[in-house]
C-alpha cells in the first residue's frame, strides 16, 4: 500500500466532527468493567454487548472508526453478519488493538513496558486480511516519586516505533498511544513535563524507525492534574497546557491527534476536547478516541436490563458520539 492510501485512512479517522470509539478491552479488562455492573464476562455477553454498541443507529455520523480486540474482530451479529461487515455498512473503519499488554520493566520497580512485538508481522497480515484498516498500541507511563525513568520512556517509545513501522509495512495505519496515567497526587506541571518528554522521545523513535508521520495517528493523554492532587486544574488550564505541550513536541505533518479519556468523567472529557478546539488555530485536527467516556453510561443501562434497555443504551452511545463530535469542532455546549 502506498503512503497516499495510508494518509487517506488517517485523514478519514479524524474527519471533521468525527472520532473513534475504543471498544478494545482485553478479556481481563472487560471482566473488570462487567464485574462493576454485575454482568458475567462470558464470550456471548462480550459479543452481545459489542453488537449493541456497533449496531447503534447512525453511529457512523460522528464515529469514524472503532478499535476492537482480537476476539471482537472475529465476531458477528446474532444474524451472522460479521462485525467487520456491520462496520462497513455503518461507514466505520475497523481498528485492532495489537499490543499484548504491559509487563513490569525489569530493573525499574513500579514501571511498565508494553509487549507484543514477537510475531507481530504475521498477526498484522491476518488482521489486514480480516479488514483492519488501523491498529493501536498502548504504552503506559506512570508518574511517581522517582518515575518515570528515562529508560522506561525510551523502552516504550522504541517499541511503539517498531510497532508503527510494522503496521505501515502491512498497509495499516498505526495509532501510537503513549498514555501518561492520571493516577497520583502530582500537579499539572509535572504531568506537562512527563508528557512533553514522552512525546519528544516518541517522535524521535518514530523518525529513527522510518515511520511516515503522514500515515500515523497519535492517541494522546491530556495534560491534567493527578487524580488525587489537592489542586485540580480548570477546563481552560487543561486545554491550554495540553495544546502548549502538543505544539512543542508533535510535528505538524501528523494528520491528527485523538485523545483517550483515561478515567475522566464523560462531561470532563467532552469539555476538555471542546475547549481545545475552541482555542483554535491548531496544526492538526483534535478529536476523541474514548473508551470509558463513550461507553460507561450505556454499559450501565444495558447491564440493568439487556432487552428492555437495549434501545436506550444505544441512544446513550449515540448521544455521547454526538457530544464528542461537536467537541471535535469546538461547538459543544452543556
Ligand atoms: P479510555 O478512554 O477509557 O482511557 O480508553 C481508551 C483506550 O483505548 C485506552 O487504551
pLDDT, tens digit (0-9, with 9 covering 90-100), for 133-160:
999 999 999 999 999 999 999 999 999 9
Residue 69: all three cell numbers together: 480486540
The full length of the chain comes to 334
Q: How far is the CA of 281 from the centre of ligand 1 (A)?
A: 26
Q: Tell me if 138 CB under 6 Å of ligand 1.
A: yes
Q: Report, as an integer, the average pLDDT of 38-61.
A: 98
Out of 28, 32, 260, give the residue to mutate to test ligand 1, the one with the largest number of ligand atoms within 8 Å of its CB.
260
Q: pLDDT value at position 180?
A: 98
Say if residues 180 and 198 touch (Cβ distance below 8 Å): yes
Q: What separation, in Å, do the N-terminal and C-terminal C-alpha atoms of the chain show?
A: 43
Query: Over 70: is that where the pLDDT of 122 sits?
Result: yes
**pLDDT band with cut points at 50, 70 and 90 for residue 235:** very high
Q: pLDDT value at position 1?
A: 67
Q: pLDDT value at position 252?
A: 98
Annotate 274-319 with DSSP letters as a single string.
Answer: HHHHHH---SS-EEEEESHHHHHHHHHHHHH-TTTTHHHHHHHHHH
Task: Give the mean pLDDT of the chain.
Answer: 98
Q: Name the closest-CA residue to atom 9, ligand 1.
A: 260
Q: Tell me if 293 CB under 6 Å of ligand 1.
A: yes
Q: How far is the CA of 333 from the centre of ligand 1 (A)?
A: 23
Q: Tell me if 262 CB under 6 Å of ligand 1.
A: yes
**pLDDT band with cut points at 50, 70 and 90 for residue 2:** confident
- Give the Cα separation of 284 and 242 in Å (integer): 13
Q: How far is CA 206 from CA 175, 200, 312, in A?
A: 12, 10, 43
Q: Tell me if 22 CB under 6 Å of ligand 1.
A: yes
CB crowding 201-226: b at 16 or more within 10 Å, else e: bbbebbeebebbbebbbbbbbbbbbb
CB atoms within 10 A of CB 47: 18
- Which are the catalytic amino acids? 177, 219
Q: pLDDT value at position 182?
A: 98
Q: pLDDT value at position 280?
A: 83
- Give the Cα separation of 154 and 298 in Å (integer): 37
Q: pLDDT value at position 234?
A: 98
- Give the Cα separation of 182 and 273 in Å (integer): 16
Cell 467532552 belongs to residue: 270
What is the ipTM for the molecules in this complex? 0.94
Q: pLDDT value at position 149?
A: 98
Q: pLDDT value at position 321?
A: 98
Q: pLDDT value at position 69?
A: 98
Q: Tell me if 219 CB under 6 Å of ligand 1.
A: no
Residue % of the chain over a pLDDT of 70? 100
Q: How far is the CA of 178 from the centre of ligand 1 (A)?
A: 11
What is the dihedral angle through the alpha carbons of 81, 27, 67, 302, rounded to the nearest 10 degrees? 70
Q: Quick one: which of 113, 119, 120 has its CA closest to 155?
A: 113
CB atoms within 10 A of CB 42: 10
pLDDT, tens digit (0-9, with 9 covering 90-100), for 252-311:
999 999 999 999 999 999 999 999 999 988 999 999 999 999 999 999 999 999 999 999
Give alpha helix (H) positions in 98-187: 120-130, 150-169
Amino acid at each position: 500500500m502506498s503512503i497516499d492510501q495510508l494518509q487517506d485512512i488517517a485523514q478519514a479517522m479524524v474527519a471533521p466532527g468525527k472520532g473513534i470509539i475504543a471498544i478494545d478491552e482485553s478479556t481481563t479488562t472487560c471482566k473488570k468493567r462487567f464485574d462493576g455492573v454485575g454482568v458475567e464476562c462470558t464470550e456471548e455477553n462480550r459479543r452481545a454487548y459489542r453488537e449493541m454498541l456497533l449496531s447503534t443507529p447512525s453511529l457512523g455520523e460522528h464515529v469514524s472508526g472503532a478499535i476492537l480486540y482480537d476476539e471482537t474482530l472475529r465476531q458477528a451479529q446474532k444474524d451472522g453478519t460479521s462485525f467487520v461487515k456491520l462496520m462497513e455498512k455503518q461507514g466505520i473503519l475497523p481498528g485492532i488493538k495489537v499490543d499484548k499488554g504491559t509487563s513490569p520493566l525489569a530493573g525499574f520497580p513500579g514501571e511498565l513496558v508494553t509487549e507484543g512485538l514477537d510475531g507481530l508481522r504475521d498477526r498484522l497480515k491476518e488482521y489486514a486480511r480480516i479488514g483492519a484498516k488501523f491498529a493501536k498500541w498502548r504504552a503506559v507511563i506512570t508518574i511517581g516519586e522517582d518515575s518515570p525513568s528515562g529508560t522506561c520512556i525510551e523502552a516504550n517509545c522504541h517499541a511503539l516505533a517498531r510497532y508503527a513501522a510494522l503496521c505501515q509495512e502491512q498497509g495499516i495505519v498505526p495509532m501510537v498511544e503513549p498514555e501518561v496515567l492520571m493516577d497520583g497526587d502530582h500537579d499539572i506541571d509535572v504531568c506537562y513535563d512527563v508528557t512533553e518528554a514522552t512525546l519528544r522521545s516518541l517522535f524521535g523513535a518514530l523518525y529513527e524507525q522510518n515511520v511516515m508521520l503522514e500515515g500515523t495517528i497519535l492517541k494522546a493523554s491530556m495534560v491534567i492534574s493527578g487524580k488525587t492532587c489537592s489542586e485540580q486544574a480548570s477546563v481552560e488550564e487543561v486545554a491550554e497546557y495540553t495544546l502548549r505541550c502538543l505544539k512543542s513536541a508533535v510535528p505538524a505533518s501528523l494528520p491528527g491527534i485523538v485523545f483517550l479519556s483515561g478515567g475522566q468523567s464523560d462531561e470532563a472529557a467532552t469539555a476538555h476536547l471542546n475547549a481545545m478546539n475552541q482555542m483554535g488555530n491548531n496544526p492538526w485536527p483534535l478529536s476523541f478516541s474514548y473508551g470509558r467516556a463513550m461507553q460507561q453510561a450505556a454499559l450501565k443501562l444495558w447491564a440493568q436490563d439487556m432487552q428492555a434497555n437495549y434501545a436506550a443504551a444505544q441512544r446513550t452511545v449515540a448521544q455521547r458520539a454526538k457530544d464528542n463530535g461537536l467537541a471535535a469542532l469546538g461547538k459543544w455546549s452543556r
